[in-house]
């Protein structure tokens, strides 16, 4: 197994893999319909989407973490 010290990279990898797969499929079907070669179209779109999504998640996740910290408050606080 992979060491826990690589949690952020592994999390980002799987998040990018799943989100790019789901979104590229939905957008491919939306744009093309359920054509006979939709799987080929989707896999091509997915590979491109993943190449963009993975580094984007790596770069944006610290900002998202800070935003979530600003929005959420600790349980039991008076706010």
What confidence tens digit (pLDDT) does each residue in 14-70 have? 999 999 999 999 999 999 999 999 999 999 999 999 999 999 999 999 999 999 999
Residue 76 covered by a domain: no
Residue 19 covered by a domain: yes
What is the model's pTM?
Answer: 0.82
Q: Which pair of structure tokens corresponds to residue 50?
A: 């993943």
pLDDT confidence of residue 73: 83
Radius of gyration of the chain (CA): 17
Residue 23 covered by a domain: yes
Q: How many domains does the chain have?
A: 1
Sign of the Cα torsion 7, 69, 63, 19 reads positive
The pLDDT-based confidence of 77 (bands split at 50, 70, 90) is: low
DSSP string covering 52-70, please? HHHHHHHHHHHHHHHHHHH
20: containing domain: 4-71
Q: Which pair of structure tokens corresponds to residue 65?
A: 């973490």
Residue 43 covered by a domain: yes
Residue 79 covered by a domain: no
Element at 14 (helix H, strand E): helix 7-32
Residue 77 covered by a domain: no
């Amino acid at each position: 197994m992979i060491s826990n010290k690589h949690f952020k990279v592994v999390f980002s990898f799987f998040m990018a893999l799943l989100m790019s797969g789901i979104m590229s499929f939905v957008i491919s079907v939306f744009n093309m319909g359920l054509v006979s070669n939709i799987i080929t179209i989707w896999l091509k779109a997915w590979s491109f989407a993943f190449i963009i999504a993975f580094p984007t998640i790596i770069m944006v996740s610290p900002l998202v973490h800070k935003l979530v910290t600003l929005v959420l408050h600790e349980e039991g606080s008076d706010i």
